[in-house]
Amino acid sequence: MTAPDGAAAPDGTGAGVAAPWGMLAELTHRCPLHCPYCSNPLELVRRESELTTDQWIAVLDQARRLGVLQTHLSGGEPLARRDLAELVGHASGLGCYVSLVTSGLGLTPARAEELAARGLDHVQLSLQDSDATTGDRVAGTRAHHHKIAAAAVVRRLDLPLTVNVVLHRGNLDRIAEIILLAEDLGADRLELANTQYYGWGLRNRRLLMPTRRQLANARRVVAAETRRLAGGMEVVYVLSDYYGEYPKPCMHGWGSRQFTVSPAGRVLPCPTADVITGLPAEFVQDRPLAEIWYESAVFNAFRGTDWMRDPCRSCDRREIDFGGCRCQAFQLTGDARATDPVCRFSPDRHLVAAALLADAPEDSGVADPAAGRPLWRGIPTGRVPR
Ligand code: SF4
Ligand code: FES
């Protein structure tokens, strides 16, 4: 597939580049939660720098013309935007599948009804834990009971519900309870995602990394529960990249299927690409989205395989995992062109091996937040922008 009607790649550029399917619209970085594994950047966009309603509507129009069919409205907490219903309605009116990625805080029955009436198709709700005390400690605020109430609201409206739980040393031992809770909440899908060590997660790796025993136990529980739930709630379990032999095909390849628009209008190939210093910044206020997608240096930096060096360049898996994650490569090696260090062939694999040795604790030393031990004390967390 190449550029669809109305968004053709300009002559001589973007040849052979497919149109994007999805857009992650980060409407705001404001968030009532302060999770220590937050995927938001360390430098957050302030409220006064956020795109206006009209600017977001123009972004949605351009994205649809470009080929986007799936719009994920995210943040921060997208419910912090008073114009959320208008944006949902606009995206839905364009024929997009509209998904809300939310903490659930602020998803009152009235708000949810309005969003459903405007065409919201799906809700992805984050949950920190099955245990309210620990969940609230991780979120940095009393959030758990709001999330339970938000799930009930979503189910009453009969909207498809995905529950997303980031797993780490502090909650992995309750994975069975987490699965039961998601089932009780009526989730259609449960995403159990072990922390990936980017951004705040990388900063807090020493406190988040699970033990081998926890991971082995989680694998057993998930396998048994997946069998029990067959035909019902779908369970997706994602291990941290550090424990694999090969990297994941991050974003299905740079600039291949989707893009992110930050609250200030910066267009990025993945939600955390702004950690890669030296990448030119492209904003929707300055240039049409189609030009950014097809022509910009940032989207073409790691597209395809031409940018690769060995061992990726000559590797049989280069069209399978695309050399792994550029953000991870940059954050661990300082070089975004490097082979993802989680790969067994990477000359930098020793960095991951050393982290596993230094930061993954022995089972005897695990601090259990549920037992009141201070795992989270002093841990840096995502900050709330003003
Ligand atoms: Fe993937 Fe590169 Fe590793 Fe091959 S060498 S498996 S392409 S990351
Ligand atoms: Fe940015 Fe993987 S998260 S390329």
CA proximity to 247, closest of 258, 237, 255, 238: 238
Check whether 343 is labelled as a binding-site residue. no
Query: Token match 């060096």: residue?
Result: 309
- Output the DSSP codes for 253-284: STTSSEEEE-TT-BEESSTTGGGSTTPPP-BT
Q: Quote the ipTM score.
A: 0.96
Which residue type occupies 81?
R
Which pLDDT score is estimated for 39?
A: 65
- pTM score of the predicted model: 0.88
| Separation between Cα atoms, residue 106 and residue 358, nearest integer Å | 40
Q: In terms of residues, how long is the chain?
A: 386
pLDDT along the chain (386 residues), means of 10: 42 72 95 75 77 98 98 94 97 98 95 98 96 87 92 97 95 96 97 88 86 92 96 94 92 96 97 92 97 97 95 96 95 95 96 85 51 43 41
- Cα of 299 from ligand 1 centre, angstroms: 21
Residue nearest to atom 1 of ligand 2 (CA): 327
Q: Which atom of ligand 2 is nearest to the CA of 324?
A: 2
- Cα of 195 from ligand 2 centre, angstroms: 14
The SS3 assignment for 370 reads helix
- Cα of 184 from ligand 2 centre, angstroms: 33
Return the axis-axis angle of helices 84-93 and 53-66, rounded to nearest 10°: 20
Residue nearest to atom 3 of ligand 2 (CA): 327
275 lines ligand 2 (CB under 6 A): no
- Output the DSSP codes for 196-259: P-SHHHHHTHHHHPPPHHHHHHHHHHHHHHHHHTTTSSEEEEE--GGGSSS---GGGSTTSSEE
**Cα 19 to chain centroid, rounded:** 21
Check whether 38 is labelled as a binding-site residue. yes
- Cα of 379 from ligand 2 centre, angstroms: 24
Question: Taking a C-beta distance cutoff of 8 angstroms, is the pair 164, 127 a contact?
Answer: yes
Q: Which atom of ligand 1 is nearest to the CA of 312?
A: 2
Which pLDDT score is estimated for 377?
A: 41
Check whether 35 is labelled as a binding-site residue. yes
248 lines ligand 2 (CB under 6 A): no
- Cα of 252 from ligand 1 centre, angstroms: 14
